[in-house]
């Protein structure tokens, strides 16, 4: 069961097989839940923030989409796209406009 969140949800997506849920929050955080034993259980949290600069305190998650069972795409209000893996919650790719940096 999802506990009450302290901030509004701005985006969410389900995995293709329906066992995982990623919730995007206004603060720039993604929370990951997993459906096991007929319950929705909290798994992890990812900060989708820049390391420095004017958006280092986080921007609203504007869109989420699963690419595969283990990877999802996150769009934020600072005009960046990020790809994360669910296995280890690591950012694999970050893009802004025509520039992409491979991590």
Which domains, and CATH codes, for the chain?
9-102 (2.40.10.480)
Does this model's pTM top 0.85? My answer is: no
Instruction: Spell out the per-residue pLDDT of the chain, length 103, in tens.
Output: 456 677 899 999 999 999 999 999 998 899 999 998 889 899 999 988 776 666 666 688 999 999 999 999 999 888 889 999 999 988 898 888 655 555 5
The rounded distance, in Å, linking the Cα atoms of 76 and 80 is: 6
Distance from CA of residue 67 to its chain's centroid? 12
Q: What pLDDT does 100 receive?
A: 55
| Whole-number Å distance between alpha carbons of 16 and 20 | 8
CA angle 43, 44, 49 (to 5 degrees): 160
């Amino acid at each position: 069961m999802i506990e009450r969140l302290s901030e509004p949800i701005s985006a969410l997506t389900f995995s293709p097989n329906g066992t995982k849920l990623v919730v995007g929050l206004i603060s720039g955080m993604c929370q990951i839940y997993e459906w096991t034993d007929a319950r929705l259980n909290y798994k992890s949290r990812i900060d989708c923030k820049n390391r420095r600069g004017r958006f280092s305190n986080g921007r609203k998650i504007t869109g989420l989409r699963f690419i595969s069972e283990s990877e999802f795409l996150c769009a934020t209000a600072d005009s960046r796209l990020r790809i994360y893996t669910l296995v280890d919650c690591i950012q694999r790719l970050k893009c802004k406009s025509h520039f992409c940096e491979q991590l």
